[in-house]
């Protein structure tokens, strides 16, 4: 357990010390919140959807958490190139504990990022239906963070090229974001796209957040929680297996 704690703490220290990274990661959520929120807001209202910021807010929080979490995986490649990973792996500790500590650290960083974006959403005009539901929203934020930090760990374990990692991650993450219902309701969309959204883990994270913060869910909260939790456990298992196969 001490190994998990040390690696978790190391991830947090990296995040706190990297102020340009903290500030830069807010650019995309701010752009989506204000440009899309106010740009498409009148159209969404005329279509009978109500306040678009209220609909968009949970999706942008989930997007920020997803990207922050998945890109913590690049630190595995960085540590491999500069020798820190070798020092960690030769320690008499199960590799799954090492992977879990790194992944939990990345998920915690992404959860903090999600809270910051939540505050920005409040500035943009988003208002949760009940602040008493914030703990439930935090559960979904952490599950999203943990799932995608595990994905980042899995790909960081497979790749050795630091420049290839962000390209591959963007290639995978952008479709997941756009097909999660973050930007549009899932009602009435074509069956082919709907099938892809149902297979997308982020869909259930966004829907769970929307249930907690905006009382506007497509699925039952229990469905969102069980499916996202199950997918997260599977992804942690895959990430742990791939991390255990790293050769230095």
**DSSP letters of the chain?**
-HHHHHHHHHHHHHHHH-HHHHHHTTHHHHHIIIIIHHHSHHHHHHTT---HHHHHHHHHHHHHHHHHHHGGGHHHHHHHHHTHHHHHHTSSS-HHHHHHHHHHHHHHHHHHHHHHHHHHHHHHT---S-GGGHHHHHHHHHHHHHHHHHHHHHHHHH---TTHHHHHHHHHHHHHHHTTTSSS-STT--HHHHHHHHT-HHHHHHHHHHHHHHS--SS-HHHHHHHHHHHHHHHHHHHHHHHHT---
Of the CA atoms within 13 Å of residue 181, those in its CB half-sphere come to 30
**pLDDT at site 90:** 72
The answer to whether residue 93 scores a pLDDT higher than 80 is: no
Q: How confident is the model at residue 122 (pLDDT cuts 50, 70, 90)?
A: very high
The 10s digit of each residue's pLDDT in 63-75 is 999 999 998 888 8
Q: Which domain holds residue 214?
A: 2-244
What integer pLDDT is reported at residue 17 of this predicted model? 64
What pLDDT does residue 88 have?
73
Angle at 174 (CA atoms; ends 170, 175), nearest 5 degrees: 125
Q: Taking the model in full, what pTM does it have?
A: 0.92
At residue 1, does pLDDT exceed 60?
Answer: no
Crossing angle for the helix pair 221-244 and 201-214, nearest 10 degrees?
Answer: 140
Please tell me the total count of domains within the chain: 1
């Amino acid at each position: 357990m001490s190994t998990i704690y040390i690696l978790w703490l190391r991830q947090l220290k990296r995040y706190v010390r990297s102020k340009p990274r903290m500030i830069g990661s807010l650019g995309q959520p701010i752009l989506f919140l204000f440009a899309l929120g106010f740009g498409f807001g009148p159209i969404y209202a005329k279509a009978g959807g109500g306040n678009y910021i209220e609909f968009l807010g949970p999706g942008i929080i989930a997007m920020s958490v997803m990207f922050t979490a998945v890109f913590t995986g690049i630190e595995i490649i960085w540590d491999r190139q500069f020798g820190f990973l070798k020092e960690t792996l030769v320690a008499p500790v199960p590799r799954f504990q090492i992977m879990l500590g790194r992944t939990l650290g990345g998920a915690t960083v992404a959860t903090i990022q999600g809270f910051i974006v939540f505050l920005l959403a409040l500035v943009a005009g988003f208002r949760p239906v009940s602040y008493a539901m914030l703990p439930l929203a935090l559960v979904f934020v952490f599950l999203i963070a943990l799932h995608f930090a595990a994905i980042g760990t899995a790909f960081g374990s497979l790749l050795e090229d630091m420049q290839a990692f962000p390209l591959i991650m963007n290639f995978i993450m952008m479709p997941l974001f756009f097909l999660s219902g973050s930007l549009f309701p899932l009602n009435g969309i074509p069956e082919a796209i709907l099938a892809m959204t149902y297979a997308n883990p982020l869909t259930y994270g966004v829907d769970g957040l929307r249930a907690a913060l905006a009382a506007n869910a497509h699925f039952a909260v229990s469905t969102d929680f069980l499916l996202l939790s199950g997918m997260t456990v599977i992804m942690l298992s895959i990430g742990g297996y791939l991390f255990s196969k790293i050769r230095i």
